[in-house]
Amino acid sequence: EKSSPDEEAEKPAGNKTNGAGKNNNRETKEPTKNKAETSTKEAVPEDNIDLLLQNLEQSNGLSLQNEDCSGPERRTVLHVEHRNLNPDTELKRYFGARAIQGEQRPRQRNRQFHRSTWMTIPKESWPRFSRPGISMTLLQSKEGTQYFTFEHGRQYQQVQFKFLDAVESMDPNNIVALLQLNPYHIDSLLQLSDVCRIQEDQEMARDLIERAMYSFECAFHPLFSLTSGTSRLDYLRTENRAFYLALYKHMMFLEKRGCPRTALEYCKLILSLDPDADPLCMLLLIDFLTLRSREYQYLLQLHQDLEVHRNLGLLPNFAFSTALCHFHLSQQEDVDPEERQKEREKADEMLQKALIMFPGVLIPLLDLCTVQPDAAVSSHAFFGPKSQIGQPPALAELTALYVGRTHSMWREAAVMLWLEQSVKEVLCRVDAKDPLVDDCQNKKQRYKCAPRNIHRHVLLSEIKEATSSLPLEVTSQPVLGFDPLPPLDSVTSYTRPERQHVGATNESTLSLFFRSLLPNFNLQEDDMEVARAGQELNQEVNRLMVAMRDMLANIRFQEPPREDNPYRDEDEWD
């Protein structure tokens, strides 16, 4: 089954259903939430779109929310709310509705020219939208989970080939020229967004990402749901990766814009697309966004639900961030004193365990927080340089990523005091030969080699502390911004035609040398071409020799100043 954007073009925002119509209320469950979502969209009359989608679902035997779908825990932690995908919801909570009301009014006037979407709001400055040739297909439905994939039409494939040629040219102007003819080509938007971001044009970089997301959302299948947590996209398929990257880049723009709660919702969305493989390793980021948005209970619930299946306690970010969540909960004044005491005890226990398991985190963390460690700590063998040098490479990469990303969360005076107390307690336990210390040391043997998705996440994070710890096999290969570290077992539905390269494959060293001087030189051409190439080579060599003669003729060696020294040998060199 393929999507039909024309059928959905006139779908009103108030009745928007990313999935079967009958599941719209089931996803929200609370009538107040459904009203809140509807109030942010235009008020529209009811129609029979929901009924049509419900009949379509029943005819195909599909159910977007089956009671047997991977357990209730996973559906809970991966559930996404539509209203939280809109940054205006968060900005209203910070600054009030009037602060952004002026920005919304022109959007309301222009909404009639664009289809309604959840993730982005079309802008008047955008080119007129026409289907770029992307569609979404439902591959199968299994145990309440739907598996989708994006597909490229033949015309879009031709544009994709031109894009790859533009990337190989190393000239961003070629990508700009391609976008002028194809303003909603996804990979061109992603690549040019990186160029604008490097040139510190953040506004244009963010705008290009939003255009890419709008193009994707216009191609959604009617049964594809952003909120249920049961719609899957396989990252192994080349056509699906750009959607992952667009969501990730949009999420990072939101976080830098000061909308961590909205960024957290997109993080949950990316994780829900493939929670088992987690191709972009969102589990290494979700704790930071949770702390930024102060959703402490959600992170603890996520840790509890996924700990059995994913061993989240072996990740430095979860070991430290869950302890930090309990500490912040113990600081809330509206909580019962007895409950606050329990949270503080839990925080102390978890932080001490994290420090024992990952002692290499402490000193780099204090350095980035500009805190001088105590002499008893820095000189102790457990937290000293040996704790960092002795780490396996995979563990060193994870700790560097966590410290580089979340060190700002530990700068608060109360948090730093709590950390200091826990470090002293850990040193006492180490000196007392606590059995937990040896147990944690044995667990470190599991960190032999980091999987490819962790390397991909580190590259996307652009955190210098982490990228410097990447292995040589990753840093020695070229990284494409529109497809960083593609999976080794990628699934491609179409291949790029081979280009006619100049020259033969079995060329001699002399032939390659000639081509380095004359790019158009080809040994396999006819005799006339070979003779002409040889003549051009002789001319270039003669010009080179003349230039060298002129350079040598113009060189004048300046004699060093002589000193009157009667005791100096005449044959002695200066």
What's the pLDDT at 46? 40
- Is the pLDDT reported for residue 9 higher than 50? no
Please tell me which residue, 228 or 324, carries the higher pLDDT value. Answer: 324
What's the pLDDT at 2? 45
Q: What is the pLDDT confidence band of residue 172, given thresholds at 50, 70 and 90?
A: confident
Query: 147 - beta bridge partners?
Result: 140, 232
Task: For residue range 400-414, list pLDDT tens digits in order.
Answer: 999 999 999 999 999
Question: What does the pLDDT average to over 20-43?
Answer: 40
Ranges 38-52, 140-154, 547-561, most confident: 140-154
> What does residue 348 show for φ and ψ, rounded to 5 degrees?
-60, -45
Angle, helix 337-357 to helix 435-443, in steps of 10 degrees? 60
What's the pLDDT at 132? 83
What is the distance between the terminal CA atoms of the chain, rounded to a whole angstrom?
87
Task: For residue range 117-133, list pLDDT tens digits in order.
Answer: 889 988 889 998 888 89
Angle CA(337)–CA(342)–CA(347) in degrees, nearest 5?
120
Question: What does the pLDDT average to over 443-470?
Answer: 91
> Nearest CA to 300 among 274, 321, 317, 269?
321
Helix (H) or strand (E) holding 134: strand 134-142
Question: What does the pLDDT average to over 500-504?
Answer: 48
Q: Round the average pLDDT of the chain to a whole number and report it.
A: 78
Q: 49 near 22, Cβ under 8 Å?
A: no
Sequence-ordered strand ranges (E) for 477-571: none
Please tell me which residue, 385 or 74, carries the higher pLDDT value. Answer: 385
What's the pLDDT at 284? 96
Helix (H) or strand (E) holding 142: strand 134-142
> Nearest CA to 115 among 21, 36, 7?
7
Q: 151 near 235, Cβ under 8 Å?
A: no
- Is the pLDDT reported for residue 137 higher than 90? yes
- Identify the weakest region by mean pLDDT among 167-171, 313-317, 371-375, 530-534: 530-534
- Euclidean distance between CA atoms 359 and 351, whole angstroms: 11
Q: What is the pLDDT confidence band of residue 528, given thresholds at 50, 70 and 90?
A: low
- Euclidean distance between CA atoms 178 and 518, whole angstroms: 30
Query: What percent of the chain is modeled with pLDDT above 90?
Result: 49
Neighbours of 412 (CB within 10 A): 15
- Is the pLDDT reported for residue 512 higher than 90? no
Q: 365 near 344, Cβ under 8 Å?
A: no
The answer to whether the pTM exceeds 0.85 is no
Helix (H) or strand (E) holding 268: helix 260-273
- Is the pLDDT reported for residue 33 higher than 50? no
| Furthest-apart CA atoms within the chain: distance in Å | 112
Neighbours of 184 (CB within 10 A): 23
Question: What does the pLDDT average to over 445-452?
Answer: 86
Task: For residue range 358-383, list pLDDT tens digits in order.
Answer: 999 999 999 999 999 988 898 899 99
In angstroms, what CA-CA distances link 215 with 12, 134, 252, 482?
A: 18, 8, 19, 16
| Strands 231-233 vs 145-152: parallel, antiparallel or unpaired | parallel
What's the pLDDT at 140? 94
Secondary structure (DSSP) of 191-252: HHHHHHHHTT-HHHHHHHHHHHHHHHHTT--TT--SSSS-EEE-TTBHHHHHHHHHHHHHHH
Tokens representing 437 are 């210390």
Question: What does the pLDDT average to over 275-296?
Answer: 95
Q: What is the pLDDT confidence band of residue 533, given thresholds at 50, 70 and 90?
A: low
